[in-house]
């Protein structure tokens, strides 16, 4: 998509409203609010950095896990509560035991496999820049595997999650 085409897509979206919120509660300005932005938990970097093996290290996530849990506890204690929390930046540095990474922002479904790591890119709920429909990805994780499937919003609303995925949740 060219820059001119992208500008056209975003220009057409101007002035539209999202009817997803009940009874307009979140659709109108209600006064000041705040949100929390966190960045770069980058699980695995602290050990890698301390040992000097930033390219291949990072197989331990203990410090980052403790700090992330501390951040969540701190946010949960705030009063009044923030409107939302957004986490940006690098989520992981090294991936011990990670079999798949899920992301978005490409506004279309994509992905691939590299060195046994499945990279899954889910299309957008909002503006589509490809041929995919507005939707969500359902991800089922078992001890043996990760199974995922992209559903259009209409399909998920009308039919729900397919039986084969739900059956995986029953396995012990």
Judge contact between 162 and 149, C-beta under 8 A.
yes
Question: In this predicted structure, what is the pLDDT of residue 9?
Answer: 47
Give the integer Cα–Cα distance in Å for 135 and 40: 27
Half-sphere exposure of residue 79, counting CA atoms within 13 Å on the CB side? 1
**Residue 132 neighbours by CB distance under 10 Å:** 17
Q: What is the mean pLDDT of residues 59-83?
A: 90
What pLDDT score was predicted for residue 94?
Answer: 63
Average pLDDT, the chain: 81
For residue 8, what pLDDT is reported? 53
Q: Mean pLDDT over residues 141-157, rounded?
A: 90
Q: What is the mean pLDDT of residues 1-29?
A: 56
- Coarse DSSP helix, strand, coil percentages of the chain, rounded to the nearest 5 percent: 30, 20, 50
């Amino acid at each position: 998509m060219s820059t001119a085409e992208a500008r056209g897509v975003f220009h057409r979206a101007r002035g539209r409203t999202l009817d997803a919120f009940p009874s307009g509660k979140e659709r109108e300005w209600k006064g000041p609010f705040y949100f929390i932005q966190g960045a770069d938990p980058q699980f695995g970097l602290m050990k890698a950095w301390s040992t000097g093996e930033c390219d291949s290290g990072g197989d331990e996530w203990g410090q980052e896990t403790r700090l992330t849990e501390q951040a969540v506890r701190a946010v949960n204690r705030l009063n009044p509560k923030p409107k939302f929390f957004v986490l940006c930046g690098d989520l992981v540095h090294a991936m011990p035991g990670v079999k798949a990474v899920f992301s978005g922002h490409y506004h279309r479904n994509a992905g691939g496999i590299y060195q046994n790591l499945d990279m899954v890119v889910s299309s957008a709920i909002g503006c589509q820049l490809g041929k995919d429909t507005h939707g969500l990805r359902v991800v089922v994780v078992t001890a043996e595997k990760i199974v995922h499937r992209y559903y259009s919003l209409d399909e998920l609303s009308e039919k729900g999650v397919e039986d084969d995925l739900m059956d995986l949740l029953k396995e012990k």
